[in-house]
Structure 1
Amino acid sequence: MAQKLVVKVTAGADAPERCSQAFTVAAVAAASGVEVSLWLTGESAWFALPDRAAEFQLPHAAPLPELIETVQAGGRVTLCTQCAARRGITEDDVMEGVRIAGAQVFVSEIMPEGVRALVY
């Protein structure tokens, strides 16, 4: 079993099932005791903003705010630097506990042995 799971979610409201699946996998892993790093890229970048996740609706899916809380309790949420810049999002805008970082940090997280990475 991996000691750490890195999940990179690229979808948001534009692909709700894929988006929800990424957040669900990350939250279940975190709740199971796995260290999780959830990366928000592309359209999922908007979920780094306070209350944006509450706007997301998908029938029969766990609420996004609850999934994010679960991930934050057992891991870290990161917003892609370039994705934030393209959307005019700054560190002052994001939810508490969300960091903004780039590809170098992502690569450093996925390279150690025992780390598994998923991209949605």
Structure 2
Amino acid sequence: MTTRNLVIKVTSGADAPERCAQAFTVAAVAAASGARVSLWLTGESSWFALPGRAEEFELPHSAPLPDLIEAITATGTITLCTQCAARREITEEMLRPGVRIAGAQAFVAEVLEDGTQALVY
């Protein structure tokens, strides 16, 4: 059986909590289902790359964001957009464990891999 790849770009954070939570939930469920997941944090979701920020996020009837992040990083990757990090003055040293910073070239390379599906939230 071929492993499926799923790349998810989440652009919203606390400004659009339902859309944000949906992206993290889909990523965690896909990871638990055996897909190779790559979650990209852009725009307002960039803040969740920092320790403690996901713990502040609450949405009724949604799984806690830290639990979803743990499920995603158990088998997949979480990447913070280079430009989004720079605009927010976020550096590698500031990131929560399991998060990396990379740019558009890495995103495009992941999306163009055979067997990859991409979603944007």
The TM-score bracket by the shorter chain reads: over 0.9
Aligned to 2:102: 101
1:80 positional shift: 0.2
Aligned to 2:55: 54
Cα separation, partners in 2 of 1:92 and 1:49, compared to 1, 3 Å = same
2 CA distance for matches of 1:2 and 1:117? 15
Give 1:97's aligned amino acid: G
Please tell me the residue identity of whatever aligns with 2:25: T
The TM-score with structure 1 as length reference comes to 0.98
RMSD across aligned C-alpha pairs, in angstroms? Answer: 1.0
For 1:92, the aligned partner's letter is: E
Under a length normalisation based on structure 2, what TM-score does the superposition of the two structures give?
A: 0.97
Instruction: Tell me the secondary structure at the aligned position of residue 72 of structure 2.
Output: helix
Structure 1's consecutive aligned runs of 4 or more residues displaced over 3 angstroms after TM superposition are none
How far off its partner does 1:96 sit?
1.2
How big is each residue's C-alpha offset from its partner over 1:17-75, in whole Å with a ceiling of 9 and x where there is no partner? 00000000000000111110000000000000001000001000000000000000010
Aligned length in residues: 120
For residue 73 of structure 2, what is the aligned residue in structure 1? 72
Structure 2: any 5+ residue segments left out of the alignment?
Answer: none
CA distance in 2, matches of 1:109, 1:49: 23
1:2–1:116 CA contact under 8 A, matched in 2: no
CA contact (8 A) 1:12 1:44 kept: yes
